[in-house]
A and B are shown apart, each in its own frame.
Chain A
């Protein structure tokens, strides 16, 4: 529940949270696990049976431990909201998620930094997905308009035997500023993962994404995918890697970068490493303008080039 000392802060964060697509009323429900962080304070928290939440305030941020008991299936998504309302400063968030065996949980995370002029947010999420458990993590970011936000987000995940992990990162509605995303996933026997990032860059935004799949267990499978729409003078460097270390492991990496503007600078590096002859890895990569046939299809119905581009990109980044 919301700490009454921080109601004004909650209201400000809630406004941004709603703008990013969240539903604030979920934070007030007793049947939903929620954690709201502002700066280095936990201003709201709730949990349900089978889920244990601990938090510790740090000098510049918060460390959170979230554990889900074996066999627990959580019907409603777990809501995490991290905000920082001041224009300058740093925030460090450390998250330790542990899902027991045979659990199922969906996480909805929103990071809102609406005023950042010279602000850095560092986040490291270490996650352990138990045997035969399913975890979905959706992380949506909203940054300030002037590009003064720097985000360094690292996700380290281990998926145990038969487990399933999906991680989606979105930064599409606001300026990016500077963004560095690392996703590392270790997959054990018959485990699967789908990690995906979607980013819309404007002006002089800068982006580095490094997604790595370690297919360590026999029969494990994974997809690492990135979609970037780079405009104006923005830059992007995308690295997708897959390591086929076990028999019958299958991995696919994919990067699609759509560019608009003569001053855009983007690159992609797919890397595949096979250490077992029965492993299978594939990759796809494309850099280019918005698909001409898609454009002409919409323009032949009366949209301008700008409108058609916007509609196509909006769909791709959804």
Chain B
């Protein structure tokens, strides 16, 4: 179980995350829904423990242990990983080297090929370079394959659909299914309703806190009604709580 307890992060005198509290359980997919600039990606960086986002107040607790002082690598070794919104490119590294972390992960050809097929790529990609020769969509698929292969206990996916065409929603659903089946906690950061609907539970984020939580369909409806044409982002008109509260 992953618990986020009263997380507060301030930048330029603005509260990006405002005493945010939430709980995530194994084998479930959670959507964090919200407009641009409400703190979604910041939450993902805090959970992953990026150096630039470690100065938060509150606690991140994983399986009963406070992990606030742990670095990115240490959190990753506990099973937490992050799929980046815009995956970075690597000059001179092949997809195979990237997926196996330079040979550190001992993976069979079958595992590599099968995982590539989940994200809609074939084995020919293993020898391609993870550089500008891959399109944004291809790079994103490679990133999702790498997430599956590290077998995470907690998966944070920051905008998994960005750079990927609408036809690829089924691929994202397959990825989520795979991670859910393996018992991973999956946290999807998104502003897309179609992606939020793939989750088991959704949180609506505004002003750095949870404005509402519940069934994805309810939250999507709430989002559509109140947030789609929002003129006052980060100044929520209602206090937090479930939609049906």
Contacts and interface: CB of A to CB of B under 8 A. Distances in A.
B91 A300 contact: no
A299 B76 contact: yes
B106 interface: no
Nearest to B146: A301
Contacts of B56: none
Contacts of B81: 300-302
A8 interface: no
Contact of B84 (A297, A307, A312): A297
Interface stretch (A87-95, A120-128, A180-188, A288-296): A288-296
Contacts of A303: 73, 76, 101-102, 104
Contacts of A304: 73
A7 interface: no
A299 B73 contact: yes
B50 A314 contact: no
Contacts of A314: 92-93, 102
A12 interface: no
B146 to A, nearest CB: 6
B104 A307 contact: yes
Given A311-B93, A315-B90, A317-B92, A300 B72 contact: yes
A312 B90 contact: yes
A301 B101 contact: yes
B175 to A, nearest CB: 16
B87 interface: yes
Interface of A: 291-294, 296-305, 307, 310-312, 314-318
Closest 9 CB pairs of A and B: A315-B92, A318-B92, A315-B93, A302-B76, A299-B72, A311-B102, A299-B73, A300-B82, A293-B88
Given A302-B81, A315-B91, 14 more contacts: A293-B88, A294-B88, A296-B48, A296-B51, A297-B87, A299-B71, A299-B72, A299-B73, A303-B76, A307-B101, A312-B90, A312-B93, A314-B93, A316-B91
